[in-house]
Amino acid sequence: MLVPSLRLVRTVLLAGAGLLTPASTARAAVPAETATASRITTLAELRAARSKQAHAPRRLIANNDGCDALYYPSDLPVTPEGFLNRRTTGLRGSQVDAVAYCTISSGFGFFTHRTSAGEILTRQGADYGIQPQRRNITGDLIAQGTDTLRLVSTYARANGMEAFWSMRMNDTHDVAHTPQKPYFLFPPLKEAHADWLVGNPTQRSKFGRWSSVNYGRAEVRELAFSYLEEVCRGYDVDGVDLDFFRHLCYFPSTAHGGRASDRERTEMTDLMRRVRVMTEEVGLQRGRPILTLIRVPDSVGFCRDLGLDLEAWLSAGLIDLVALTDYFRLNPWEYGVQLGHRYNVPVYPSLTDPRVLKETRFKRASVEAYRGRAAKAWAAGADGLYVFNLYDINRESPLWRELGDPVALAPTRKLYFVTDLDGSPNSWLVGGTAHQTIPILVPARPATLRRSETYATTLEFGDDLTSPAITGRKVEARLHLDLPRLAEVKALVVTLNGATLPPAESVEGWADFRIEATQLKRGANRIEVSRNDSGPDLKLQDVVLSIGYDRD
Confidence band for 542, pLDDT divided at 50, 70 and 90? very high
Residue type, 493: V
Distance CA(58)–CA(50), nearest Å, equals 15
Run of H or E residues at 336:
helix 333-342
What is the torsion angle, in degrees rounded to the nearest 10, for the CA atoms of residue 441, residue 519, residue 513 and residue 501? 100
Q: What is the pLDDT of residue 207?
A: 97
Q: Which of 364, 237, 244, 370 is nearest to 307 (CA)?
A: 244
Confidence band for 464, pLDDT divided at 50, 70 and 90? very high
Please give the share of the chain, as a percent, with pLDDT higher than 70.
92
Q: Tell me: the pLDDT tens digits for 222-269? A: 999 999 999 999 999 999 999 999 999 999 999 999 999 999 999 999
Run of H or E residues at 551:
strand 542-551
- Give the max Cα distance, the chain: 85
Q: Which of 355, 368, 376 is nearest to 399 (CA)?
A: 368
Confidence band for 551, pLDDT divided at 50, 70 and 90? confident
The mean per-residue pLDDT over the stretch 298-303 comes to: 98
* Three-state secondary-structure class, residue 444: coil
The mean per-residue pLDDT over the stretch 389-396 comes to: 73
Q: What is the pLDDT of residue 392?
A: 67
Confidence band for 12, pLDDT divided at 50, 70 and 90? very low
Q: Domain limits of the chain?
A: 6-33+43-427, 446-551
Q: What is the pLDDT of residue 32?
A: 40
Q: What is the pLDDT of residue 33?
A: 44
pLDDT of 180 above 80: yes
Confidence band for 396, pLDDT divided at 50, 70 and 90? confident
pLDDT of 315 above 60: yes
pLDDT of 196 above 80: yes
Report the topology of domain 446-551.
Jelly Rolls (2.60.120)
pLDDT of 90 above 50: yes
CB 165 within 8 A of CB 279: no
Q: What is the pLDDT of residue 394?
A: 57
Confidence band for 17, pLDDT divided at 50, 70 and 90? very low
Helices 43-54 and 262-286: crossing angle, nearest 10°? 100
Q: Tell me: the pLDDT tens digits for 40-83? A: 989 999 999 999 999 999 999 999 999 999 999 999 999 999 99
Q: Tell me: the pLDDT tens digits for 321-332? A: 999 999 999 999
- Mean pLDDT, the chain, rounded, equals 92
The CATH homologous superfamily of the domain defined by 6-33+43-427: Glycosidases (3.20.20.80)
Q: What is the pLDDT of residue 56?
A: 98
pLDDT of 552 above 60: no
- Determine which of 43-57, 163-177, 395-409, 421-435 has the lowest per-residue pLDDT on average: 395-409
Q: Tell me: the pLDDT tens digits for 484-534? A: 999 899 999 999 999 999 999 999 999 999 999 999 999 999 999 999 998
Please give the share of the chain, as a percent, with pLDDT higher than 90.
89
CB 187 within 8 A of CB 109: yes
Do strands 72-73 and 96-102 pair parallel, antiparallel, or not at all (unpaired)? unpaired
Q: What is the pLDDT of residue 391?
A: 84
Q: Tell me: the pLDDT tens digits for 333-350? A: 999 999 999 999 999 999
